[in-house]
Amino acid sequence: MPICRIMRTSLHLFAALAVAICLSLAGCHPENQKASINPAVESALDTLQTLVEECGIPVFQYAYFSPQGGLHGLVCAQDTVFDLPMPIGEGSIFQAASLSKPLFAYIVMKMVDRGEIDLDTPIAEYTDIDRFDDKEMARRLTPRIVLSHQTGLPNWAAGPSSDEWPTSRITFKYPADSCFAYSGEGYAFLQRAVEAIQGEPLDAIARREVFEPFDMPTTSYAWLPAYDSLALPGYNRDGENRGQGRHPRANCAYTLRTNALEYANFVKRGLLEGEGLSEAAHKEMFTHQVHAQRYADEPRACDSSVFWCLGFGAVDEDYYWHWGDNGNFKALWLLHPSTKEGFVYFSNRATGHDLLNPFLKKLTGEDLPLGDWIQN
């Protein structure tokens, strides 16, 4: 694999993407930025090399932003040799996995602002419910219920990349609107409604509503030709290259591909600043909708401070976040609105979340429950 210790680039507030380039295979800590970056954050980033090596992650890509500036870059594992078939860089593309969902939720909220869809109107009024076994229950599902994961549906009725999935039968695990039950199937149902209303496929809608406004040219829910050379392969826990993993159709719940800098543009401008949303829609998006006890029948200590908003999670009212897990690709974003700081990372091995607890402790100075909530 390419010899890469830390490749770090400093940037000024993502918005203009006025990047002060500083690349060094031995590490890069721009002195003109260190004074303006929170020392705790700088210290946390300095631990990444050790953590990435310990977890054996081939490529770990990150972006951090604050009102004072930001940093983004790459960290590569050194202790294990991975046969990466292409060059790597800050433009390398990762599967974003479930980080697909907050971006789709933002699109829905823009449509709410325009009066094209209503958060509390049954989705059945916009699209069919043919795949649902319980049609009466399906008619109770609304965009709000879907975005806050209260559908009562399983994550998937069948493997979403399988040939069987588009016609698979959907059976409820719990009554609709009765509890938190994380579900990509619910998001896919809402996607059909959004596409029916817009008269366009998902990726065309996302390009117009998000990718172009937020300077995300290599982000897509569908495969782009550029991905042939930019999309990294994923590695399982045994260190085996499992390939790029091309998905057969664009799905708002898991097929997004992007890089840390482009996705951070969305987190900062779309989520933190609410660009493109009314004040009311932005506030509603960050409002707790349900206590996120991850397993409805099995309460855990790490669930106690976790809630779900419209499209992402919250730890009390201090941190907002979402994680991604496509097996061999792991990702996370974390937002702290009170300080206007945010962090995004992508990794291309099944071990990518193993560093969560120690890294977030260094980054925030707090014992956040996210590592346990996600991993256990």
Task: Give the DSSP H or E segment for 145.
Answer: helix 143-147
Report the alpha-carbon distance of residue 190 to residue 313 in Å, rounded. Answer: 19
The closest alpha carbon to 109, from 100, 121, 99, 118, belongs to 118
Instruction: Return the beta strands (E) in the chain as ranges.
Output: 6-12, 18-20, 59-66, 69-76, 94-95, 257-258, 290-291, 306-308, 313-315, 319-325, 330-336, 341-347
Give the 3-state secondary structure of residue 211. Answer: helix
pLDDT of residue 32: 30
For 316, other C-beta atoms within 10 Å of its C-beta total: 10
Residues 6+ apart with CB under 8 A from 104: 187, 190, 191, 194, 202, 206, 252, 253, 311
Name the superfamily (CATH) of residues 93-256. Answer: DD-peptidase/beta-lactamase superfamily (3.40.710.10)
What residue spans in the chain does CATH classification 3.40.710.10 cover? 93-256
143: phi then psi, degrees, rounded to nearest 5: -55, -40
pLDDT at residue 35, rounded to an integer? 42
List per-residue pLDDT tens for the chain, 376 residues long: 444 554 566 543 333 332 222 222 223 222 334 446 788 898 999 999 999 999 999 999 999 999 988 888 999 986 666 777 777 888 999 999 999 999 999 999 999 999 999 999 999 999 999 999 999 999 999 999 999 999 999 999 999 999 999 999 999 999 999 999 999 999 999 999 999 999 999 999 999 999 999 999 999 999 999 999 999 999 999 999 999 999 999 999 999 999 999 999 999 999 999 999 999 999 999 999 999 999 988 999 999 999 999 999 999 999 999 999 999 999 999 999 999 999 999 999 999 999 999 999 999 999 999 999 998 8
Considering the entire predicted model, what is its pTM?
Answer: 0.92
Residues paired with 346 in a beta bridge: 61, 331
DSSP 175-190: -TTSS----HHHHHHH
